[in-house]
Amino acid sequence: MAGLEPFSPDADYCVYCHAPAAGMCAECGALCCVDCVELVMGWTTQRAVCNPCSHGSETASGQRSKAPYWLAAMILAALGTIFLLAQ
């Protein structure tokens, strides 16, 4: 009965899912595994940023905020067409 022995006693573990950590988040310095980190394009190089930090970053939110814009535009166009046809 060896029990739950860690793979390596000196290994650091991901703060989110407790898997063996691959590195530190470039934003908050949290230890993350490869599953909990995203590669974000910086000015000159890629940075490994944890999911909470990458979702809060400006690039991520900027990319995400584009979808509601064209969705709203399409809904407005559809409503306008229905309004015109109903007259």
Residues that bind Zn ion (CB under 5 A): 14, 16-17, 19, 25, 27-28, 30, 33, 35-36, 50, 53
We find the least distance from the C-beta atom of residue 56 to Zn ion, in angstroms, to be: 9
We find the least distance from the C-beta atom of residue 2 to Zn ion, in angstroms, to be: 24
Closer to Zn ion at the Cβ: 58 or 68?
58
Q: Where are the alpha helices (DSSP H) in the chain?
A: 51-56, 58-64, 66-86
Q: Give the integer Cα–Cα distance in Å for 22 and 35.
A: 9
Enter the DSSP assignment of 40.
Answer: E
Closer to Zn ion at the Cβ: 35 or 81?
35
We find the least distance from the C-beta atom of residue 4 to Zn ion, in angstroms, to be: 17
Closer to Zn ion at the Cβ: 25 or 47?
25
Closest CA to 30 of 59, 50, 58, 57: 50
With tokens 């934003």, the residue in question is 27
